[in-house]
């Protein structure tokens, strides 16, 4: 089985990026870039807008697709599209329960967080490409 997932890469004006800690499932407690599965008929951009609004209660504006990443689990292939987004101003993040907490972190702090395997690869890719420093 294969699923496509959209994840948001959101940077603030100070060079911090947004991560969230999963509250449920086999990856509960792990940190990730927020986002989720595409629903039938959705584009990547539609999915990321919907997922971020549902999970974090804020509106984002997709800017560009950074890359598509594949990860194989035992019986599931995940195709993750990472989308750079702007967070529209004057909003407060409020979780719908999908996440235990969220954090704005610098690249130098990412080793302090227990990321999912795929999200760790995303951070390393972003560092290598210079998207975050």
DSSP class per residue in 51-120? HHHHHHS--EEEEEEEEEEEEE-SS-EEEEEEEEEEEPSS------SSEEEEEEE-GGGGGGS-B-HHHH
pLDDT in tens, the chain (133 residues): 889 999 999 999 899 999 999 998 888 999 999 999 999 999 999 999 999 999 999 999 999 999 999 988 788 889 999 999 999 999 999 989 999 999 999 999 999 999 998 899 999 999 998 887 6
pTM: 0.93
Domain that includes residue 10, residue range: 2-129
Look up the CATH number of the domain holding residue 32: 3.90.79.10
Number of domains in the chain: 1
pLDDT of residue 133: 66
pLDDT of residue 56: 95
């Amino acid at each position: 089985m294969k699923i496509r997932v959209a994840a948001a890469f959101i940077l603030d004006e100070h060079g911090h990026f947004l991560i969230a800690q999963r509250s449920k499932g086999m990856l509960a407690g792990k940190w990730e870039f927020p986002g989720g599965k595409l629903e039938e008929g959705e584009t990547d951009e539609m999915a990321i807008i919907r997922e971020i609004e549902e999970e974090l209660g804020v509106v984002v504006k997709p800017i560009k697709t950074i890359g598509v990443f594949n990860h194989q689990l035992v019986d599931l292939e995940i195709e993750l599209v990472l989308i750079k987004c702007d967070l529209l101003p004057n909003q407060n993040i409020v979780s719908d329960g999908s996440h235990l907490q969220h954090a704005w972190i610098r690249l130098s702090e990412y080793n302090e967080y227990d990321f999912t395997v795929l999200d760790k690869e995303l951070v390393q890719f972003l560092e290598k490409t210079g998207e975050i420093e």
